[in-house]
Amino acid sequence: MYPDSIQNLIESFKFLPGIGEKTAERLAFSVLEMEPEQVEVFSSSLVEVTQKVHPCSKCNTLTDQEVCFICSDPSRDPSILCVVEDPKSVFLFEKMGIFHGMYHVLNGLISPMDGVNPEDIGLSSFMNRVQNGNFKEIVFAFKPSIEGETTTLYIKRILEGMDIKVTRLASGVPIGADMEYMDSLTLERALQDRKIIE
């Protein structure tokens, strides 16, 4: 019913996560109202992103250089390594500007239920980096979940015997949260990890 080119565009939008038929139609029509130059930029940035962006050869985050802007920044603290589950986490931390060490991006988390085993998440390049590096501390920044827990414990075990402090993000009640909406696991962890008021 739609002209072919509109239909193709609708189908393309539907490939994006969380975009259904109606939204895809609305987006496709909005493209028709854009400036041609704007559409040109959109179109070329789609192709560019797949051609230029690839994992950083050191830390595995996404970059369009050989080595990412973090690994090539001499002002970062090379003694602390933050291990994350995907490149998105790196950009999230960087946006907040709260961490000044180095990162290492795994290829996801260990999840036997989904068939993701330790050998699937890029641990060999991680261990290589740790063995050749000079890290004093490794902090795990995975999402609080069974998979995050499993991966943390697995890596902690293979790091045993090395003179490296192994830490993880604190779990607990988020700032501003309403106590009555907290789940029991979060409250339990917050209670276990309670801190002395100084």
Longest pairwise C-alpha distance within the chain:
70
Q: Which of 3/161 has CB closer to a copy of itself?
A: 3
Which residue in this structure is represented by tokens 């996404």?
62
CB of 21 to a copy of itself, least distance (A): 10
Q: Which of 40/114 has CB closer to a copy of itself?
A: 40
CB 139 within 8 A of CB 119: no
Q: Which of 10/110 has CB closer to a copy of itself?
A: 10
Q: Which of 82/138 has CB closer to a copy of itself?
A: 82
CA angle 19, 21, 22 (to 5 degrees): 90
Q: How far apart (Å, rounded) are the C-alpha atoms in residues 111 and 121?
A: 10
Q: Which of 1/196 has CB closer to a copy of itself?
A: 1
Q: How far apart (Å, rounded) are the C-alpha atoms in residues 19 and 185?
A: 33
Query: Residues interacting with a copy of itself, by CB under 8 A?
Result: 1-6, 8-9, 11-12, 15-18, 23, 25-32, 34, 36, 38-50, 52-53, 62-65, 68-69, 87-88, 91, 94-95
CB of 66 to a copy of itself, least distance (A): 12
Amino acid at the residue 109? L
Q: Judging by beta carbons within 10 Å of its beta carbon (0-12, 13-18, 19+), is residue 163 exposed, middle or buried?
A: exposed
CB of 67 to a copy of itself, least distance (A): 12
CB of 97 to a copy of itself, least distance (A): 9
CB of 39 to a copy of itself, least distance (A): 5
Q: How far apart (Å, rounded) are the C-alpha atoms in residues 124 and 5?
A: 46
